[in-house]
């Protein structure tokens, strides 16, 4: 038997897992992917703005909002925040497009 299989076979059932967090549900996983995709969309849009204090300020604001809501686990609240964030971002995108065209 391979050493790694022996190790797994020898772990007593009562011992806790070495994983920090329990596995997330499929709904949580999907929402997490949507949030990460939204973050990527924001950062890509910000790179269109020439390097300036405005660009740094917008990124800092977005980062602060994501960090502030990092520990939210309620799916309805996550959906609400994502929806609200996307509508705010659409307003910000108009500003970004205006700045990028200069």
Please write the tens of the pLDDT for every residue from 66-82: 999 999 999 999 999 99
Q: Average pLDDT for residues 31-45, to the nearest whole number?
A: 95
**What would the pLDDT profile of 45-58 be if each residue is shown by its tens digit?**
888 888 889 889 98
pLDDT at residue 42, rounded to an integer: 93
pLDDT at residue 9, rounded to an integer: 53
Q: Which H, E and C letters describe the chain, residue by residue?
A: CCHHHHHHHHCCCCCCCCCCCCCCCHHHHHHHHHHHHHHHHHHHHHCCCCCCHHHHHHHHHHHHHHHHCCCCCCHHHHHHHHHHHHHHHHHHHHHHHHHHCC
pTM for this prediction: 0.72
Q: Does residue 96 have a pLDDT over 90?
A: no
Give the total number of structural domains in the chain.
1
Asked if the structure places residue 9 within a domain, the reply is no
Is residue 96 classed exposed, middle or buried when 0-12, 13-18 and 19+ CB atoms within 10 A define those classes?
buried
Asked if the structure places residue 71 within a domain, the reply is yes
Q: Which domain holds residue 90?
A: 48-101
Asked if the structure places residue 61 within a domain, the reply is yes
Place of tokens 């897992």: 17
């Amino acid at each position: 038997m391979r050493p790694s299989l022996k190790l797994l076979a020898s772990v007593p059932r009562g011992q806790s897992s070495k994983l920090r967090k329990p596995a997330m549900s499929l709904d949580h996983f999907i929402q997490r992917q949507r949030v990460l995709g939204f973050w990527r969309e924001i950062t890509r849009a910000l790179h269109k703005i020439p390097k300036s204090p405005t660009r740094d300020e917008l990124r800092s604001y977005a980062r602060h909002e994501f960090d502030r809501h990092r520990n939210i686990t309620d799916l309805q609240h996550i959906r609400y925040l994502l929806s609200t964030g996307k509508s705010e971002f659409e307003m910000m995108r108009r500003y970004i497009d205006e700045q990028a065209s200069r």
